[in-house]
Structure 1
């Protein structure tokens, strides 16, 4: 607690109040302390003891896939937090297949678990209800839809991230800015809303032709960029829904004999570990993905221990990381 207090610039009693849900702490201070707690992966000893008393506790983590850097970061956040608490992680990858979801649910109901963390559950909210009916505590990470208000969930400030990315490109002098979005998830809608709002505040009317939907994969970035470059008046900058799409943008620019940022500026979203290793290093919006997994785990452990959460929904701040892929447009 002393370490958290020092990092957050508050007193130990203030940290104690935040951890125990007591009043008397300003909202901004409470948020700052919670952010430090999430970043340090701190788990209250009472939660760990409630789980592991007399036995080895375990928590199930369900993700879409494990060979994706986004999910890998969440897995690391969950794993590190559970390890500090002396608990085991049971990992399942469903690959968005309904039969895998059903099989996992049947195993959990039959054999039991201390709790479950679901990443991007969207259409499988029915499974969420089934888990709760069997008394399994659940926490969500980056939920795609409107999660139940009493279920712990952790996301990011996606609107602010989309706004910051677009505002950065506008500040460089770009006026034709395209956006490659993702599937119709809540996070996608919020990023697109931030993009459009930034354009409108700059006096620019968003153009439907400059918005391309798709998946959060490199292939979407590649195909959408090829379409954008064929427009009579192509964009001078592209904001992508995630860093994987940005990799596809790079490939399409290379095939067209162009490069970032000389011909087209590129800004991504997530700041996954590979973003700084691309050529040029990718300007992107940092989403604290690992911290999201860690905080969801902490919240779940507190629920399992019978503690009351101050808020079931937490959004961690995004931030713009400026590197080499964005620059003023050519005259």
Structure 2
């Protein structure tokens, strides 16, 4: 009976690659894993055979063999947020450069779904699981994350928290933060230095990100020897529609303010629309500032003064740090800087609205 060529019976196997390169299947595995010394000539023959046969390694077989899946999981609540998308881009680009696959998972804010995703990635022997975005920092959250971190470490993986606070000494996790509170302090200080004393703050509700930005807003006022009017702190969510509604509510309630500091650029976009619809000129009557420096901020009319957060660099740093760590590393913590980006939406205080 005539033997069929590898190309004739479907997907090529590692044995087909070994036969083409005239080496053993175990040698092919060593070349592909890159974790065992192989001569240059042998490596060249194997890689040429892989290319000729268009061979793709079976990730499940690699996991059974103990080689891992070379996967980095990026876990977040909602992928539609522009800031998260830029962080995901950083993770994907850095992971690809290092020969890893980036798997994006969404949880819609469900802690149980987050746990299920982490457990799945542990079973799949992912190199790292990166959890992104603010959270509600409670003792229960810290205990749950500590258990996750230890479980991942026992499987040879690593928990990475991006934009979340550290879990405490001794927890085997990597934390990549940005100066969240400092960015809000710097922006509020800038507005105060421009003569604004009644700054409408469109904050968030309860997450570590929201609380940090509110702390920066409050501490800047204290540094200037004043306290913000509690009526000017308007909590909500980090969406365009929330910014729109809260400005409309403040205007309808007769609140006086000369500036608006929105806790995200998306919130600022909604606030800007509400001000325009109410016939209020920005920045002639009311100044407007945001936070994040997502790309469309410069295309608003007027272009938005905001706080720059290095989201893509955070993603890259997360991957570089976790793949370059020592196997016995405990908790690791890195802080990236933020800075104010000055554009045309802020000027010296005028009479404002409600005066």
Common fold, TM-score beyond 0.5?
A: yes
Structure 2 counterparts to residues 58-207 of structure 1, below 5 A: 58-98=71-111, 100-120=113-133, 122=135, 126=144, 129-130=147-148, 132-134=150-152, 135=154, 136-143=157-164, 145-149=165-169, 150=171, 151-207=173-229
Q: Which has more radius of gyration?
A: 2
- State the Cα deviation string for residues 48-72 of structure 1 (Å, max 9, x = none): x9x8637662211111122210110
Q: Is the 8 A contact 1:105 1:127 kept in 2?
A: no
**What CA distance in whole angstroms lies between the structure 2 residues aligned with 1:141 and 1:256?**
38
List alignment gaps of at least 5 residues for structure 1: 1-48
- Seen in structure 2, the aligned counterparts of structure 1 residues 283 and 127 have a Cα distance that, compared at 3 Å, is same
**What CA distance in whole angstroms lies between the structure 2 residues aligned with 1:193 and 1:111?**
40
Structure 2 counterparts to residues 1-331 of structure 1, below 5 A: 53=35, 57-98=70-111, 100-120=113-133, 122=135, 126=144, 129-130=147-148, 132-134=150-152, 135=154, 136-143=157-164, 145-149=165-169, 150=171, 151-303=173-325, 306=327, 308=329, 312-331=332-351
**What CA distance in whole angstroms lies between the structure 1 residues aligned with 2:167 and 2:277?**
42
Q: CA deviation at 1:128?
A: 5.7
CA RMSD of aligned residues (A): 2.4
Q: CA deviation at 1:146?
A: 4.8
- Tell me, what secondary structure is at the counterpart of 1:232? coil
Q: CA deviation at 1:289?
A: 1.1
For these two proteins, the number of residue pairs brought into alignment is 279
- Seen in structure 2, the aligned counterparts of structure 1 residues 194 and 113 have a Cα distance that, compared at 3 Å, is same
Q: CA deviation at 1:131?
A: 5.2
- State the Cα deviation string for residues 89-111 of structure 1 (Å, max 9, x = none): 11112222345434423422433
TM-score (norm 1): 0.77
Larger RCO, structures 1/2 (Cα 8 Å, 6+ apart)? 1
2:51 aligned residue: none
List alignment gaps of at least 5 residues for structure 2: 1-30, 37-66
Q: Is the 8 A contact 1:115 1:300 kept in 2?
A: yes
- Seen in structure 2, the aligned counterparts of structure 1 residues 250 and 52 have a Cα distance that, compared at 3 Å, is farther
Q: CA deviation at 1:161?
A: 1.0
Q: Is the 8 A contact 2:131 2:160 kept in 1?
A: yes
TM-score (norm 2): 0.72
Q: CA deviation at 1:147?
A: 2.5
- Tell me, what secondary structure is at the counterpart of 2:324? helix
- Tell me, what secondary structure is at the counterpart of 2:343? coil
**What CA distance in whole angstroms lies between the structure 1 residues aligned with 2:227 and 2:127?**
51
Q: Is the 8 A contact 2:181 2:212 kept in 1?
A: yes
**What CA distance in whole angstroms lies between the structure 2 residues aligned with 1:213 and 1:146?**
25
